[in-house]
Amino acid sequence: MCPKLSRAAAKLGLAAASIGLTLLALEGLVRLLAPQGRGKEERTIALYTEHDQLLGWRKRPGARATLHRRDYTVDVAINSRGLRDVERTYESPAFRILALGDSFVEGYSVPLEATVTRVLEVSLSRPDCPVEVLNGGSAAWSTDQELLFYRSDGARYGSKVVALFFYFNDVLFNDCDRYFGNPKPRLVVGSNGSLTLTGVPVPSWPAPAGADPSSEPEPEPQGGSALLSFTANRLRIGVPRVYNRLAASSRDATVAGLLLERLGALPQGTETVEVRRLGLTYAVGTVVFTISREPGWPRAWNSWERSR
């Protein structure tokens, strides 16, 4: 082999070894420092939640916590009925709206007066028509848990309207019996559209020590490269368009693909939309707000509507 080729081969070998050692070091660092088995959001809510045999977890009545993060410091106070709200009674002469959702509704990253329910209440109330907007949101809940909460407690508030705040990951976690390693109830949809509640009573799980407030859940590594899983998750959360393009070769790996897969797995030709197949057919008005800018969401939503 000529000297030039030998030197080039040596440089390529050195570069490959350097890249390999760097990736190996990063892999070890991610395995050492990245959350293992619990999402950051789960560690946040552990400060003021408790185990619940039906819901998996719920906010602890009377709990107080201060969440410190780089971009905010917020005091979270839970009322005597387990809501992040002002004190409420089950009966009220006011026109009531019950908001259901996850952390978007609970709003633990902002002061109580800046949450969507308090802003709506102030905006809608009039002297001759008082309006109360109740905060029934709980971080990390999905539509199944929101339904179970409505059946067990939320309906007692006598709301005329239920506002369901729906995010794309609700579809994914509705099909799971665990939330980042923590057990949760699951509603199984039968071929005739019936619902069967499984996983109850939900077994208890220990709260993580030294809870670290954050707003974005991290997935539990499921084997393979922790570095690859970590990078893919950050892309999925931060730049979903890039994530979807990189995953385009495998439809099931994309967020939109997972949505369509879940929606397509539900029985077709029934009289109600998918949300109502999860039992959200209230004897009151139901308003559905969608909170998503995920690519492919309009197509998923259209599939949802066509299946009515």
3-state DSSP assignment of residue 262 = helix
HSE of 274, CA atoms in CB hemisphere, 13 A: 24
The alpha carbon torsion through 57, 108, 64, 152 (nearest 10 deg) reads: -40
User: 144 with 134: CB under 8 angstroms?
Assistant: no
Question: What parts of the chain have a pLDDT lower than 70?
Answer: 1, 34-44, 206-224, 233-308
Q: 95 CB contacts (<8 Å, ≥6 apart)? A: 129, 130, 131, 132, 160
Strand extents, DSSP E, the chain: 49-52, 56-59, 64-69, 72-77, 95-100, 131-135, 161-167, 178-179, 182-183, 186-189, 195-198, 285-291
CA distances from 134 to 53, 91, 95, 154, 304 (A): 23, 12, 11, 9, 28
The whole-number pLDDT of residue 101 equals: 93
- Yes or no: say if 145 and 269 are a contact pair by the CB < 8 Å rule: no
pLDDT at 97: 94
What pLDDT shows up at residue 282?
39
Distance CA 169, CA 259 (A): 8
Distance between CA 157 and CA 47 in Å, rounded? 26
Determine the pLDDT at residue 27.
83
Check residue 93 and give its pLDDT.
Answer: 95
